[in-house]
Amino acid sequence: MGKTVICPGSFDPVTLGHLDIISRASKMFDHVIVAVLVNPAKEQSSFSIQERIELLVEATKGLDNIEIVSFQGLLAEYAKERNVTVIVKGLRAVSDFEYEFQMALTNKRINPELETIFLTTESKYMYLSSSIVKQIASLGGSIKGFVPDCVLDRIVERLSKKQLPENSED
């Protein structure tokens, strides 16, 4: 498939589940734009946009067809600006599907040329989310095996200093 796709997310922080989807998409498509977005539904980020980009650049070293960018606004409009017609989203569980299906239909309504492809994560990452990583680290637990080793220390340093609200969402 000679195509460019967008793999969007907040990546706050990047997990091995994210990396699984990105690396698999990089094998399926010629060019993968990993688009780091500010999600207004998430109250406060643990990492700035620039820090998330830096973590992703480090975590995706060796994947030559990856571009890490940030954007604001509607994903459907950003895809149009970049002349991209396919979005790749990762799914962990049925609950992810409900939300992502709604988003895919909304994006299609805004940009009729836009298609969404869902990749299910490997079973070993089905439970993994940025929220879980943040909660474990904030309580002093080990997040080794949850985030890429190359960025583990930076993530631990930041998250171990931050006490999270009780009902933090991914």
Catalytic: 130? yes
Catalytic: 108? no
Give the active site residue among 42, 82, 154, 158.
Answer: 42
Contacts of 161 (CB under 8 A, 6+ apart): none
DSSP for residue 44? -
Catalytic: 18? yes
* Residue 134, helix vs strand vs coil: helix
Burial of 165 by CB count in 10 Å (0-12 exposed, 13-18 middle, 19+ buried)? exposed
Give the active site residue among 10, 18, 26, 129.
Answer: 18
Catalytic: 138? no
Strand intervals (E) in the chain:
4-9, 31-37, 66-71, 86-91, 115-120
Give the active site residue among 10, 46, 129, 130.
Answer: 130
Q: With contact defined as beta carbons under 8 Å apart, do 35 and 4 qualify?
A: no
Give the active site residue among 24, 52, 89, 92.
Answer: 92
Q: Where in the sequence numbering do the catalytic residues fall?
A: 18, 42, 92, 130
